Chains A and B, each alone.
Chain A
């Protein structure tokens, strides 16, 4: 049996949870196996019957379990796994899912493959998985030697399909939780003031790197972004670690992953850890004075030259076009 740990938000399944169900069903089909799931929270019971095609859904309803409560969730999942004896356990590879399954893995002393993107089935059994390394700039094929096999699914690795089939049986699970299971728990949520378009919402992102030379030069990028539709400014790690821009502007492996229609990379060499954060852009336009820069192997459009000359000229040209 394949057992899926589901993440919810406001009594709904998250997109990564739906993706994980799709991957689990797909794998179950290849293995000729059944799929079951675990739902934990407050007010999540109504979701269970909607999980069509699953054999059974275990539900833990508890008002204390609103939101993600790490140790309680890990205890419940570990107990369910011990009872149900699945051969594979799958969770979404989100912050919650990775945290949750890591805690389960150490409790049950099992291996865990985080960030999986594919499965290799041989002779009716899961032989190995493909998972992300280096934030997705490399892939690793790996065999999980312990049983059951624990995996988290990289978000966007599969697209969520509607669930079809019969309604699952719903099992209500009761668990005893003590104080210790609540020693890690969110105390409050401090909402942030929203200023401007975020990097993940923007349709156009203008990114700047070491080639800008200083914080001041980013004004050029701000000005360019201001002239473009739904545009925001991003940066490389060199720019953030020099304090030219805040870390929240950083694009890449240890920054934000963006997927705009257009990414304009200015004075950026195209290091693999930066590109992994913008590789899902529909188009990439690079401006760099070095025609040998790696960015030109990873861009759709290139302009070779000094950004300090090109950007002001481009800004003037766009103003002219817009004025006309």
Chain B
């Protein structure tokens, strides 16, 4: 079993966004970076599948040199190898360009299972995994929250308001996963140490002509007026009155 997981480096923004003066991007000064949640679950799923069925897992990102940090995190958790498609201005790559670079890189690598996030945390394009699947002529189910491998088949489930939609694909296949499919592990100290010794394969991807061009980013309007009801237990009478006023009691 050979499993590929594609992840993206995104800023961990916490309390709010600051934009750069030209409003073209998120100002990441003083921010940490992370693997976004859906992809963290994709990494966990890959590790569990290899633990159960044997084989190897590979993590891939198209991003800046600094994205080695996210690749190392995946390696520390138990992924076997890593590929960096190195480009500093990765944020200006549209989904079609990212998909093409990934498809070209992995086309002849013989993966049985390719895992993506359902959508990237920042761009939310909902498409890189589906595009890669088509470029490699592989079947794909998006947005899955359960996956089971049996022989050369994959049974995947999507969570819909009506119930669990069950899909069955023969491998090789592509899936885009959603957070909730598992609870990702934390890397162990030993994992972190041994990950340092794994070389990261680096390549320079070629960007095809863009089909999308960002003009600017802006914040949606927020407008709430805060009323402090009080401090500590002294506030509860006022809170209860407010709950009644709002029809909650």
Q: A95-B142, A261-B247 are in contact. Are A254 and B216 (CB under 8 A)?
A: no
Establish whether residues B127 and A305, one from each chain, have CB atoms under 8 Å apart when the complex forms: no
Establish whether residues B240 and A192, one from each chain, have CB atoms under 8 Å apart when the complex forms: no
A8 → chain B, closest Cβ, in Å?
A: 14
Establish whether residues A309 and B164, one from each chain, have CB atoms under 8 Å apart when the complex forms: no
In whole angstroms, how far apart are the Cα atoms of A147 and B159 in the complex?
34
Establish whether residues B229 and A301, one from each chain, have CB atoms under 8 Å apart when the complex forms: yes
Closest residue of chain B to A312 (Cβ to Cβ) is B233
Interface of A is mostly: mixed
B169 close to A (CB within 8 Å): yes
Q: A185-B167, A192-B164, A305-B235 are in contact. Are A134 and B121 (CB under 8 A)?
A: yes
A77 close to B (CB within 8 Å): no
Contacts of B142 in A (CB 8 A): 95, 98-99, 102
Task: Kindly identify which residue among B160, B167, B180, B227 contacts A301, using a CB–CB cutoff of 8 Å.
Answer: B227
Establish whether residues B167 and A303, one from each chain, have CB atoms under 8 Å apart when the complex forms: no
Task: Kindly identify which residue among A241, A299, A300 contacts B183, using a CB–CB cutoff of 8 Å.
Answer: A241
Number of interface residues of A (CB under 8 A): 92
Contacts of B163 in A (CB 8 A): 189-192
In whole angstroms, how far apart are the Cα atoms of A103 and B14 in the complex?
33
Contacts of A185 in B (CB 8 A): 167
Task: Kindly identify which residue among B37, B123, B219 contacts A254, using a CB–CB cutoff of 8 Å.
Answer: B37
Task: Kindly identify which residue among A102, A250, A306 contacts B126, using a CB–CB cutoff of 8 Å.
Answer: A102
Establish whether residues A304 and B231, one from each chain, have CB atoms under 8 Å apart when the complex forms: yes
B135 close to A (CB within 8 Å): yes
A317 close to B (CB within 8 Å): yes
Task: Kindly identify which residue among B94, B124, B244 contacts A135, using a CB–CB cutoff of 8 Å.
Answer: B124
B84 → chain A, closest Cβ, in Å?
A: 24
Q: A186-B165, A300-B224 are in contact. Are A105 and B218 (CB under 8 A)?
A: no
Contacts of A142 in B (CB 8 A): 212-215
B178 close to A (CB within 8 Å): yes
Establish whether residues A298 and B224, one from each chain, have CB atoms under 8 Å apart when the complex forms: yes
B225 close to A (CB within 8 Å): yes
A15 → chain B, closest Cβ, in Å?
A: 12
In whole angstroms, how far apart are the Cα atoms of A302 and B94 in the complex?
42
A67 → chain B, closest Cβ, in Å?
A: 9
Contacts of A133 in B (CB 8 A): 122-124, 217
Q: A302-B226, A318-B240 are in contact. Are A105 and B127 (CB under 8 A)?
A: yes
B230 close to A (CB within 8 Å): yes
In whole angstroms, how far apart are the Cα atoms of A204 and B248 in the complex?
7
Closest residue of chain A to B232 (Cβ to Cβ) is A305
B11 → chain A, closest Cβ, in Å?
A: 10
B29 close to A (CB within 8 Å): no
Closest residue of chain B to A255 (Cβ to Cβ) is B179
Contacts of A140 in B (CB 8 A): 214, 216-218
B31 → chain A, closest Cβ, in Å?
A: 12
| Contact-residue size bin, chain B (C-beta under 8 Å from the other chain) | 35 or more
In whole angstroms, how far apart are the Cα atoms of A309 and B166 in the complex?
46
In whole angstroms, how far apart are the Cα atoms of A306 and B191 in the complex?
38
Contacts of A301 in B (CB 8 A): 226-229, 239, 242
Establish whether residues A184 and B220, one from each chain, have CB atoms under 8 Å apart when the complex forms: no
Establish whether residues A270 and B15, one from each chain, have CB atoms under 8 Å apart when the complex forms: yes
Would you list which residues of chain B between 101 and 144 have a CB under 8 Å from chain A?
119, 121-127, 130-131, 134-135, 139-143
In whole angstroms, how far apart are the Cα atoms of A302 and B169 in the complex?
50
Establish whether residues A314 and B227, one from each chain, have CB atoms under 8 Å apart when the complex forms: no
Q: Which among A37-45, A162-170, A227-235 touches the partner chain?
A: A227-235
Establish whether residues B243 and A228, one from each chain, have CB atoms under 8 Å apart when the complex forms: yes
B47 close to A (CB within 8 Å): no
Contacts of B184 in A (CB 8 A): 241
A178 close to B (CB within 8 Å): no
Contacts of B124 in A (CB 8 A): 114-115, 132-135
Closest residue of chain A to B216 (Cβ to Cβ) is A141
**Residue among A98, A106, A144 with most chain B CB within 10 A:** A106
B187 → chain A, closest Cβ, in Å?
A: 14
Contacts of A152 in B (CB 8 A): 126
* B contacts, CB < 8 Å to A: 13-17, 26, 36-38, 94-96, 99, 119, 121-127, 130-131, 134-135, 139-143, 157-158, 160, 162-169, 178-180, 183-184, 210-220, 222, 224-233, 235-237, 239-240, 242-244, 246-249
* A contacts, CB < 8 Å to B: 70-71, 95, 98-99, 102-103, 105-107, 109-115, 128, 132-146, 152, 183-192, 203-204, 227-229, 231, 237, 240-241, 243, 247-248, 250, 253-255, 261-262, 269-273, 279, 283-285, 294, 296-306, 309-310, 313-314, 316-318, 321-322
Pairs A–B under 8 Å by Cβ, sample size 21: A70-B141, A95-B158, A114-B125, A133-B122, A134-B17, A134-B122, A144-B212, A184-B167, A184-B169, A187-B168, A192-B163, A240-B180, A254-B37, A254-B38, A254-B178, A261-B247, A262-B248, A272-B17, A294-B15, A314-B236, A314-B239
